[in-house]
Amino acid sequence: MKLMTCPLNGPRNISEFVYGGEVKAMPNHKTCSDKEWADYVFYADNTIKIIQEWWFHSPSGYWFIAERHTASDEILRTFDPSELYQERIDFGHEEGVKGGVV
């Protein structure tokens, strides 16, 4: 059984968590080109390195960020997203997306 340390709940079985994709900057969907949006949605470096990714602790409904190596599967660090995101990202805002930049 592989364990992951949830910043909120401590070490739990990895089967309690749902993978949520790599942490990456979202372009402004109102101003970016189709190619930029496709790049954001579909393309990825998908390489062997330590990446930051979103994870979800399903039983408690809590999203957080983990640093994990994509070949050894070692989880180096998990932390609350507030470390990276200080302001709320309002996707539907008239003036476009404010946050989304790491």
Partner 1 sequence: MPFSLLKYGLSNDYPFEKDADLPAPTELKRHYDVVIIGGGGHGVATAYYLAKYHGMTNVAILEKGYLGGGNTARNTAVIRSNYLTSEGVKFYKQSVDMFQGLSNEFDFNIMYSSRGQLTLAHTDATVRSFRQRTEVNKHFGGRTELIDPQQIKELVPTLNMNPADMPILAGLWHIDGATARHDAVAWGYAKGATQRGVELHQLTEVTGVTVEQGKVTGVTTNRGAVSCGCVVQAVAGHSSLVASMAGIRMPITTYPLQAMVTQPVKPFLDPLVSSSALHCYVQQTGRGEIVFGGGSDPYPLYNTRSTLDLKESLLASAVEMFPFMANLKLMRQWAGITDMTSDYSPIMGLSPIKNYYLDAGWGTWGFKSTPICGKTMAELVASGGKVPELIAPFSMDRFDVFRQVNEMGATAASH
Residues of this chain that interact with partner 1 (CB under 8 A) are 1-2, 13-15, 18-19, 34-35, 38-39, 41-48, 70-73
Name the token pair of 9: 């709940």
Nearer to partner 1, 31 or 46 (CB): 46
Q: Give CA–CA dist 3/55, Å, rounded.
A: 13
Nearer to partner 1, 49 or 88 (CB): 49
Minimum distance, C-beta of residue 87 to partner 1, in the bound complex (Å):
28
Minimum distance, C-beta of residue 86 to partner 1, in the bound complex (Å):
27
Q: What is residue 64's three-state secondary structure? A: strand
Quick one: CA dihedral 34, 35, 37, 43, positive or negative?
positive
Minimum distance, C-beta of residue 95 to partner 1, in the bound complex (Å):
25
Q: Give CA–CA dist 79/91, Å, rounded.
A: 23
Nearer to partner 1, 3 or 93 (CB): 3
Residue 38 amino acid letter? A
